[in-house]
Amino acid sequence: MKLKRFIGCFCMVLAAVVLATIQHNDALAAYPDKPINYIISFNPGGESDVTARLQQSHLEKILGVTVNVTHKPGGGGAVAWSEFQRTARPDGYTIIGVNIPHIIAQPMERKDTGYTTDGFELIMWFHFTPNALIVQRDGDIKTLADFIKLAKAKPKAVTVAGSGTYSANHLDALRLDKLAGIQTTYVPHTGTGPIIPALMGGHVTSTMNYTMVGVQYKDKLRTLAVAADARVAMLPDVPTFKELGYDIVGGAYRGVAVPKGTPPDIVKKLTDAFLKTTDLIAAKQREMGFEITTATGKQAIDLVARMKADYGGILSELEAQKK
Amino acid sequence: MDICLQAMGALAHPKMILLIFGGVTIGLFAGAMPGLTATMALAVLLPFTFTMTPLDGLVALGAVYMGAIYGGSFAAILVNTPGTPSSIATAFEGYPMAKQGRALEAISVATVASAIGGIAGVLFLLFLAPPLALLSIRFGPAEYFWVAMLGLTLIATLSEGSVFKGFLGGTIGIMLGTIGLSPVGGESRFTLGIPVMQGGIEMIVALIGLFVIPELYNMAALGRASLGAVSVADKEKSSFWRVAAKVFSKPGNLIRSCIIGEIIAIMPGAGGNIANLVAYNEAKRASKTPERFGTGTTEGLIASESSNNVTVAGSMVPLLTLGIPGAPPDAVILGVMLLHGLRPGIELFTTSGVLTYAFIFSMGLAAIAMVPVGLLGGRLIYRVIFRTPHFFLVPTIGLATIVGTFALRNSLSDVMIMLILGTTGYLLKQIGIASAPIVLGLILGTIAEVGYVQAILGGAAYRFPWFRLFENPLSWILIAMVVVSAAWPFLLALKRRMWSAEKVNKGGAK
Amino acid sequence: MIRNVNTDLVAGTLGLLLSLTFWSLIDPRMTHMSAVFPTAMIGIMAIASALLVIKGFSRAAERGNLFDVGSNVRVLATGLFFFGWVIAIGYLGFFVSSVLVMSLLALYLALAGRRVSPARFALWVGIVACEVAFFYLIFTRLLHVLLPEGWFF
């Protein structure tokens, strides 16, 4: 009996000492002093991954520690995000890439997403890809007016491909339907990748996709309109939906977040590092068809709130339609 | 022509040779490790290429890609575990060979077949890129559905015992594949409310579990490793020249497998993982001795390994001409090209022609480099595995499997899923449901579902949306192939029954 | 070993149970896009299973011995080792649990056929530790895969 108590005491003391040293170390050492794990919730080779790889070396230089880019794909990002909110320690050594509208739409749509939109401490949103309506270059459709005329003539026969259901692509395709008074068929695909051959081969009429598709496949595909407030730098000849009389502005944002409860000075350090990095890779990012954003702090939270209101309206309307 | 000479000049540099050999070696070991796929090896090496010139980077990645697809055959032959999904059929023949003490011969055959496949892919890319690119975008949802069906007819071929059990296994695999997010609808299915199940069962996780774990249980049960000792005579049989002569003695099989590999390679999204299975199936169908398949025939091994290496350069056809990755690893190569400001299309062959042709030639060189690297590396790996006693082999292979599965998605849940599936696979094997149809269902189920649902959606304006499945001439060709392929085993069985009946009659007459 | 089992009947019954399980898990609120394919496949699974059951009652039923290869105790123990390993990784970290489980598994499997002196076992633990360290270093340092940490590292 005595021995048991002694061992118990001993263990407690030991644990206390260990804990004290750990905390002591944390308080003493200036952040960061060990490698940072940058989680990407999508497959290697995708746009999120390529961007993270571009940021990696600059971040390492600025922060002075190794930054490991690791992938945890699955569930359209939900697997990584839910595990992150459940297990990541708020010490700034685990950061994760986040996407709008994914982190807004998924918790609204699924019962078992496992994370909440507001459960992240946002560092910043670093780029934006507006949606764009894209068709074959050599087809009959040359303008948005042509597209709408065709859709009116043949209801449901005009197909619009997009990546995912309730995604940025899907929601703007629905908006176009509503504003133009047409009936198109939205065909969800597993990503941007498989849409390109489907469009080139004429298996779908059009795609509501990101502007970068229009930039990268300029000589094979035609962009009819972009869903941004102003024209996109890499596609100067393409009008915005607004110019053509349809109030559609939308797309996907990419950003980075840490767990809730991360100390403010660490958040500050990471924010500065990402701002600097974004600046350094801006030229390359624009070339690939991204628009640079620098929404940090309150701005970043406001952006989420704004998009949440936007998507919430469409989603509830869609739900009502289903019933 | 001038461009070609310049391109060759660009490659005639010791640094390039070093990059090719280094790339092939790295790829080989990555491929041989279950869980490390070609896509992952390329993604991990991606940052290193940022500091290189575009050509150096592309050459290195091309060599890694080539080596990884080939390296998958080592694990398939020596431990019955396809190192990458491109070597599934390799395990069907290679492992029985290894059990019979013909491991070295199997490795040599795989090496020669892979090198030939690699070179064939380069030739397709050099000479037939434009027409093949046009063909590649003809594959729409309906065609994907029919290709998946064609693959599923393999179940009938694969099930050794009862066809019904094969189908049950196949549907189990398909249903496992539907767990998680539905690929078109985006809703979560069969997740039991567990967030991690939204990610579903990754095909490679199931592949590793279903192939490796039962093998480890077997080893533990028997108390010995199942690799046979290589006799002196077999060592001679595995010499490069004798094997090369043997491989070339059946050119029909080679040519057929390479063409199948190429057609599947140009289909965006489908790569070596499907090519090797279809090529194996066709080789069995064309063979004069189909009943010997599965017991260690070189024909099946050649079909699998040549077809999967065709896809390396072959899948670059739509990539370089249209910017469409023909197989998953090509997405990484596309990323590198975009980072260096190279836009796929006609300019790639004209303005930056030297670079493009040098890249294409380098893949041919990588295919040749596989021969020395593979023969040496293969012998090394064989010796290590053969010399290791079983009580070390079981934990060590277990370690490699666990690390490999974990690395795939950085997920410990995946490791648990792998173990559960593997153990279930061992139990199912007892009642005659083999692992192969389950894996097949898992690979092809998603393709079939996406094709079917998208085709139906595309036909929303029709009176009968499923009419979309029968609309195109390309679909008709595929449907015909599905029918022939599905009926074949039954025709064969009928023929055999008649033949044996005849024999019995003759016997009775005596 | 279980002798002379009607495997067709077993497989068929199992398949029917499985189809029933999946069928009961289909959420009726799912859209047609998500439900059509699994429903069809569950149907095919049920048909294949039903045919197996019918065949199981006919004269053509396949019969075979289950678990008739080697020692089943060793299979069971190896399975327990494997599952324990993965669970331990979550608590002890990759390195410690792997060295521990691998050494013990090697010892267990070796004891079936030979005697192992303590000195030899100590040597094995050393070899195993080197092996694990090799994998650990390659994955964490070269491939940047962060293996689970627990005790120590």
Query: With DSSP H G I counted as helix, E B as strand and the rest as coil, what are the percentages for chain B, rounded to 5?
Result: 80, 0, 20
Query: With DSSP H G I counted as helix, E B as strand and the rest as coil, what are the percentages for chain A, rounded to 5?
Result: 45, 20, 30
The token pair at B418 is 């792998």
What's the ipTM? 0.94
Query: With DSSP H G I counted as helix, E B as strand and the rest as coil, what are the percentages for chain C, rounded to 5?
Result: 70, 5, 25
State how far the Cα of C147 lies from the Cα of B411, in Å rounded to an integer.
Answer: 9
Inter-chain contacts counted by CB atoms under 8 A, chains A and B? 170
Q: According to the model, what pLDDT value does residue B510 have?
A: 42
Domains of chain A, residue spans? 34-129+251-322, 135-226
CB A174 within 8 A of CB A318: yes
Q: Which pLDDT band holds residue B238 (cuts at 50, 70, 90)? A: confident
Q: For B449, which residue in chain C has the nearest alpha carbon?
A: C37
Average pLDDT value for residue range A269-279: 94
Q: Which residues of C32-52 are buried (b: 16+ CB within 10 A; e: fewer)?
A: ebbbbbbeebbebbbbbbebb
Q: Which pLDDT band holds residue B226 (cuts at 50, 70, 90)? A: low
pLDDT at B148 over 60: yes
C144 CB neighbours in chain A (<8 A) are: 68-70
User: Across the interface, do A204 and B335 touch by the CB < 8 Å criterion?
Assistant: no
The token pair at B313 is 């350069």
Q: For C30, which residue in chain A has the nearest alpha carbon?
A: A322
Average pLDDT value for residue range B263-275: 86
State how far the Cα of B75 lies from the Cα of B396, in Å rounded to an integer.
Answer: 13
* Per-residue pLDDT tens digits for A65-108: 989 888 888 878 888 999 899 888 899 999 999 998 889 988 88
* Greater pLDDT, A51 or A192: A51
For chain C positions 119-138, those within 8 Å of chain B (CB to CB) are 124, 127-128, 131-132, 135
State how far the Cα of B446 lies from the Cα of B453, in Å rounded to an integer.
Answer: 11
State how far the Cα of A109 lies from the Cα of A117, in Å rounded to an integer.
Answer: 12
C145 CB neighbours in chain A (<8 A) are: 70
pLDDT at A5 over 60: no
Average pLDDT value for residue range A149-153: 94
Q: How far is A12 from chain B (nearest CA, A)?
A: 30
Number of other CB atoms surrounding residue A152 within 10 Å: 13
Q: According to the model, what pLDDT value does residue A19 have?
A: 46
Q: How far is C49 from chain B (nearest CA, A)?
A: 7
Range of the domain at B296: 2-509
Give chain B's domain count: 1
Long-range contacts of residues B148-151, Cβ cutoff 8 Å, at least 24 apart: B148/B444, B148/B445, B148/B447, B148/B448, B148/B451, B149/B448, B149/B478, B149/B482, B150/B278, B150/B478, B150/B481, B150/B482, B150/B485, B151/B274, B151/B277, B151/B278, B151/B440, B151/B443, B151/B444, B151/B447
Q: Find chains touching chain B: ≥3 CB pairs under 8 Å.
A: A, C
Q: According to the model, what pLDDT value does residue B50 have?
A: 73
User: Across the interface, do C74 and B223 touch by the CB < 8 Å criterion?
Assistant: yes
A189 CB neighbours in chain B (<8 A) are: 184, 454
Q: How far is B333 from chain A (nearest CA, A)?
A: 8
Q: For B399, which residue in chain C has the nearest alpha carbon?
A: C98
The CATH class of the A135-226 domain is alpha beta
Q: According to the model, what pLDDT value does residue A10 have?
A: 46
Fold: same for A34-129+251-322 and A135-226: yes
CB A195 within 8 A of CB A163: yes
Nearest Cα residue to B340 out of B55, B64, B66, B65: B55
* Greater pLDDT, B98 or B492: B98
pLDDT at B256 over 90: yes
pLDDT at B181 over 80: yes
Helices H, strands E: what count in chain C?
5, 2
For domain A34-129+251-322, the CATH architecture is 3-Layer(aba) Sandwich (3.40)
Q: How far is B477 from chain A (nearest CA, A)?
A: 18
Q: Which pLDDT band holds residue A323 (cuts at 50, 70, 90)? A: low
Helical ranges in chain A per DSSP H: 2-28, 47-63, 78-87, 102-109, 144-153, 168-180, 195-200, 211-216, 264-287, 297-322
